[in-house]
Amino acid sequence: MTLRGENLIGAEARRGTEAAFRAVEAATGEALEPDFPGASLADLDRACALAEAAFDTYRETDPETRAGFLEAIAANILEIGDDLVTRCMAETGLPRPRIEGERARTAGQLRLFAAVVREGSYVEARIDPALPDRKPLPRPDLRLRRIAVGPVAVFGASNFPLAFSVAGGDTASALAAGCPVVVKAHPAHPGTSELVGRAVQKAVASCGLPEGVFSLVFDAGQSIGQALVADPRIAAVGFTGSRRGGTALMAIAAGRPAPIPVYAEMSSINPVLLFPAALAARGAAIGKAFAASLTLGAGQFCTNPGLILAVPGPGLDAFLDAAAAALRESPAATMLTPGIRDAYRAGVDRVAGHAAVTRLAEGPEGAAAQGRAALFATDADAFLADPVLQEEMFGASALVVRCRDLAAMRAVLAHLEGQLTASLHLAPEDHAAARELLPLLERRVGRILVDGFGTGVEVAHAMVHGGPYPATSDGRTTSVGSLAIDRFLRPVSYQDVPDALLPAALQAANPLKLPRRTDGIPDPR
């Protein structure tokens, strides 16, 4: 498929008129064809106007139409075939199996949301019938459903060019909720973005939907993204990226005459708690598994295990020996962009130069575009004394914090910022100590896992990929899994509205066959 470097504004493909940029081949630094001229403010205005015009029709599409649309996007992405995989590999430096796996995950995610739309519980249809004879006052007829919030702005992520980008989780959940989407492509993979954007655009047309359901804009800088968040027709924002970028967009959204929510997933160091009996029983095996998780995708996962907490002893020594040996042999890996590589190296240098930190291991030196793995250690007192030590190093390096006892481990956890995940490595003898820490962990993180690592998020109904700030801007939500749809819905209550005027979801005959509650009790199905 030929790339044209065009913004996709509704049904149109338009070459931008602003500064152009090109993708860079991650491994070589070579510029890749074609040019991507940035969208103009007029292009963005048209995209937002079309999204607004599409909103009322799209949000009332019947479940089958909307689910079919999501499935058509999945099919169209797969239909692009190897062109998508090779372009994506070139732009990101990520290997083929990773891109193919991520493509399957992206299609599966769209299909999951299709199933959610067909099943219908997300509408939360509730009916409290009128009680005209209630004393002292009659009760009105009350009916509630959730509706889409409005057009949503999505910022594609650099590190998941498919699953968190143009047709990734934010887009899939917003479209499932009934929200048109305007995507601001990540500048690191514009070709991948255009290919996927065209797949979505094609699905909009083949499903007979209003053209404004989807648009995709490119920008060499940040002004179009900022204007998108400020646009009064945009009702919510999905973002995955840096803390600086996420908080900048939050400030724009909060400063609007009508503020809107920004669902930003930003930074997390994902603590790993190694409990004494687990370490004694299998320290070396955990160390090896940790190194594999740390180096996955050159460490460019928001779920990367960047912080290890453990009590010193022979078990921890075995863990460290195995982890260090694996990391010393782990080849340097191409990073997504020169900027991300430089930020990673600067983060590593900052930690390496810290007076209270020792370097335990370092991977082999690589090419200019590559990042090498590293493992550092400090103690709990030093960690508690310097917030720099809990800053995300976005790459394959981690810091081990030696805690003199479990009380020190608790103090470190209590001091941590919000996190996406916490991993506990346990033997049965550790359960009592782990139980003590669980309430604190629940307050700090979005997902607690045992005997594993957070990398490799399952896209499922019971998944939470979220967590308190700064892991995300809103710890009440998730950006992965079916619950992600909640971000883009809001409840509306209808009081004494005649059946003929009610939305289908709440009419007496239940024409959409939605699961509903009457007086709080699920209706028989």
Of 52, 102, 265, 392, the active-site residue reads 265
CA distance 428 to 423: 16
Who's near 242: CB < 8 A, 6+ residues apart? 266, 267
Mask: binding to ligand NAD, 286-305, rule CB under 6 A, as x and -?
----------------x---
CA distance 193 to 114: 22
Alpha-helical (H) ranges within 15-62 are 41-59
Q: How far is the CB of 175 from ligand DO4 (least distance, A)?
A: 19
Binding partner of residue 186 among ligand DO4, ligand NAD, none, CB cut-off 5 to 8 Å per kind: ligand NAD
**In the beta sheet, which residues pair with residue 358?**
377
Mask: binding to ligand NAD, 432-471, rule CB under 6 A, as x and -?
----------------------------------------
CB atoms inside a 10 Å sphere around CB 201: 23
Considering the rule CB under 6 A, would residue 186 count as an interface residue with ligand NAD? yes
Nearest alpha-carbon partner for 36 in 12, 15, 5: 5
Peptide bond into 515 cis (omega under 30): no
Binding partner of residue 242 among ligand NAD, ligand DO4, none, CB cut-off 5 to 8 Å per kind: ligand NAD
- Name the DSSP class of 336: S
Binding partner of residue 308 among ligand DO4, ligand NAD, none, CB cut-off 5 to 8 Å per kind: none
- Reported as type and span, the H/E element at residue 430 is none
The span of 50-58, 74-82, 153-161, 373-381 binding ligand NAD (CB under 6 A) equals: 153-161
Burial-class residue 386 by CB neighbours within 10 Å (0-12, 13-18, 19+).
middle
Binding partner of residue 455 among ligand DO4, ligand NAD, none, CB cut-off 5 to 8 Å per kind: ligand DO4
**In the beta sheet, which residues pair with residue 237?**
153, 262
Q: Could you give the angle at the alpha carbon of 29 between the alpha carbons of 24 and 35, nearest 5°?
A: 30
- Name the DSSP class of 481: S
Site for ligand NAD in 343-402 (CB under 6 A): 343, 392, 394
Q: How far is the CB of 42 from ligand NAD (least distance, A)?
A: 19
CA distance 519 to 516: 10
Rounded to 5 degrees, what are φ and ψ at 518? -115, 125
Residue 362 annotated among the catalytic residues of the structure: no
Nearer to ligand DO4, 178 or 187 (CB): 187
Binding partner of residue 245 among ligand NAD, ligand DO4, none, CB cut-off 5 to 8 Å per kind: ligand NAD
Show the tokens assigned to 494.
């209808």
Of 88, 179, 302, 403, the active-site residue reads 302
Nearer to ligand NAD, 268 or 370 (CB): 268
Choose which of 109, 192, 267, 479 interacts with ligand NAD (CB under 6 A): 267
Binding partner of residue 241 among ligand DO4, ligand NAD, none, CB cut-off 5 to 8 Å per kind: ligand NAD
Contacts to ligand DO4 by CB under 6 A: 159-160, 301-303, 455-457
Question: Does residue 272 sit in helix, strand or coil?
Answer: strand
Considering the rule CB under 6 A, would residue 159 count as an interface residue with ligand NAD? yes
Would you say 146 and 122 are in contact if contact means Cβ atoms under 8 Å apart?
yes
Residue 302 annotated among the catalytic residues of the structure: yes
Choose which of 242, 334, 370, 473 interacts with ligand NAD (CB under 6 A): 242
Catalytic residues: 265, 302
Binding site for ligand NAD (CB under 6 A): 155, 157-159, 184, 186-187, 222, 225-226, 240-242, 245, 248, 265-268, 302, 340, 343, 392, 394
